[in-house]
Amino acid sequence: MDNPDRTPIGVDLGEYNLYTACPATMPDWTGAYRISGDEICAHLDDLRERVAVLLASDSDRDTVVAYVRQRRAELLETLDGAARALCEYASAYDRPVLVTEDNHYEPDLWAWLTDPDAHRGTAWLLAMAHLRLRAVAAEYAVEVATVPETHSSQECHRCGVIGDRPQDKTLRCPNPDCRVDRVHADYNAAKVLAQRYHPGQRCTYRSPPPVTPGERPALVADGGPPQPQPDDA
């Protein structure tokens, strides 16, 4: 998989950010590219509510199936549009390769629509977003590679220490010798995935050092896209 002539671009998949991309060559995470997942998540939530109403009504099975197929096609159009935007971004780099997590989810839209315990991301969205990214990338002749996902959302992209995620969108590096304090978790994960394409450049796993209460400033709530941090250069 390792090819020194390629430009690995890590792609983290999620719900808050559907696709977050960061090249391994980017000096830090603040220039990463993101595509919001708000729109497609809202459509999935609406579809679930409407299907629940249909199933509770006198609608026959064929009517419900036809409706779900129509809405599914619309969801796929949204995913394909996002994947094309990502491939356009990647195509600006020299010989890009998109690097994603090696996950094993299988998309099951009906599980999301009918199982009250199903998770929107793992039931359908993340697996289908990965499949559509591969399909669209093939149209652009952009390679897609996978790397192990272990700790990719927790590992600091700069020092390799496993960080804390006291808030869903923020990763905190506990290493007092690292210049990274807080980093947006999705942006960090994309950078880590890009680094893992080249085994010699991937982060080194280390146990996090002990941190005393006064060593790090308190976290501030992350209410949206990250702002550049002066100590993350």
DSSP for 165-226 reads EEETTEEE---TTSS--EEEHHHHHHHHHHHHTSGGGSPPPBPPPP--TTTSPPPPP--SS-
Contact 114, 124 (CB under 8 A): no
Q: Quick one: pLDDT band at residue 189, thresholds 50, 70, 90?
A: confident
Q: What is the pLDDT of residue 34?
A: 95
Weakest-pLDDT range from 11-20, 45-54, 133-142, 206-215: 206-215
Residue predicted with more confidence, 193 or 209: 193
Average pLDDT in the 101-128 region? Answer: 91
Q: What pLDDT was estimated at residue 55? A: 95
Q: Is residue 10 part of a domain?
A: yes
Number of structural domains (the chain) is 1
Predicted local distance difference test score (pLDDT) of residue 2: 58
Task: Report the pLDDT value the prediction gives residue 198, as an integer from 0 to 100.
Answer: 80
What are 49-105's pLDDT values in tens digits? 999 999 999 999 999 999 999 999 999 999 999 999 999 999 999 999 999 998 777
Stated pTM of the model: 0.79
The answer to whether position 223 is within a domain reads no
Lowest-pLDDT range of 17-21, 83-87, 145-149, 162-166: 162-166
pLDDT value for 168:
67
pLDDT value of position 170: 78
Of residues 9 and 151, more confidently modeled: 9
Provide the mean pLDDT of the chain. 82
Neighbours of 16 (CB within 10 A): 17
Structural domain contains residue 197: yes
Query: For residue 37, how many C-alpha atoms fall within 13 Å in the half-sphere facing its CB?
Result: 18
Given this model, what pLDDT does residue 39 score? 96
Residues 6 or more apart whose CB falls under 8 angstroms from that of 181 comprise: 172, 173, 216, 217, 229, 231, 232
Q: How far is CA 90 from the centre of its chain?
A: 16
Please give the angle made by the CA atoms of 31, 37 and 42, to the nearest 5 degrees.
155
Query: Has residue 222 been placed in a domain?
Result: no
Q: Which of 7-16, 35-44, 101-110 has the lowest mean pLDDT?
A: 101-110
pLDDT category at 32 given cuts 50, 70, 90 is: confident
For residue 79, the enclosing domain spans 1-213
Task: Examine residue 60 and state whether it is found in any structural domain, yes or no.
Answer: yes
Q: With bands split at pLDDT 50, 70 and 90, how would you rate the model's confidence at 222?
A: very low
Judge whether 233 lies within some domain. no
Query: What pLDDT was estimated at residue 1?
Result: 57
